[in-house]
Amino acid sequence: MTIDFDALTPEYIRDLTPYQPGKPVEELERELGITGAIKIASNENPMGPAPRAVAAAERALAGAHYYPDAGTYTLRRALAEERGVDPDELVLGGGSNELIYLLVNTFCQPGRDEVLTHKYAFLSYRLAAKSLGVDLVETDVTDSFRCDIDALIAAMSPRTKIIFLANPNNPTGAHVTRQELERVLAAKPAHALLVVDEAYHEYAAPRDPEYPSSQDYRTADQPLVVTLRTFSKIYGLSGLRVGYGVADRRIVERINRVRRPFNVNSVAQAAALAAIEDREHIARSQEAAEHSISAIREAADSLGLTAYSSLANFVMVDVGRDAWDVYDALLRRGVIVRPLEPFGLSRHLRISVGTPADTDRVTTALASVLG
List contacts with ligand PLP (CB under 6 A): 43, 95-97, 122, 166, 170, 197, 199, 230, 232, 238, 243
Nearer to ligand PLP, 218 or 350 (CB): 350
Closest CA to 184 of 137, 158, 145, 217: 217
DSSP 240: G
AA letter at 193? L
Minimum CB separation of residue 123 from ligand PLP in Å reads: 9
Among residues 322, 241, 240, 296, the alpha carbon closest in space to that of 40 is found at: 296
d(CA 147, CA 125): 15
What beta strand segments (E) does the chain contain?
38-39, 90-93, 114-118, 135-139, 160-166, 193-197, 225-230, 243-246, 306-307, 314-318, 335-336, 338-339, 348-352
CA pair distance 229, 217, nearest whole angstrom: 15
Q: How far apart are CA 195 and CA 223, in angstroms?
A: 11
Instruction: Please give the residue whose beta carbon sits closest to ligand PLP in the complex.
Output: 95
Which one, of 235, 232, 239, 267, lies nearest residue 72 by Cα?
267
What is the rounded CA–CA span in Å between residue 334 and residue 32?
A: 9
Instruction: Give the whole-angstrom CA distance, residue 95 versus residue 109.
Output: 23
Rg of the chain over Cα atoms, rounded to whole angstroms, equals 21
Nearest-approach distance from CB 111 to ligand PLP, in angstroms:
27
- Rounded to a whole number of angstroms, the minimum distance from the CB of residue 313 to ligand PLP is 9
Q: Which amino acid is at 341?
A: E
115 and 218 Cβ atoms separated by less than 8 Å = no
Residues 6+ apart with CB under 8 A from 92: 72, 75, 76, 242, 243, 244, 263, 264, 269
Instruction: Find the helix packing angle between 266-277 and 73-83, rounded to 10°.
Output: 30
Q: How far, in Å, CA of 254 to CA of 257, rounded?
A: 5
We find the least distance from the C-beta atom of residue 167 to ligand PLP, in angstroms, to be 8
* Smaller CB separation from ligand PLP, 160 or 170: 170
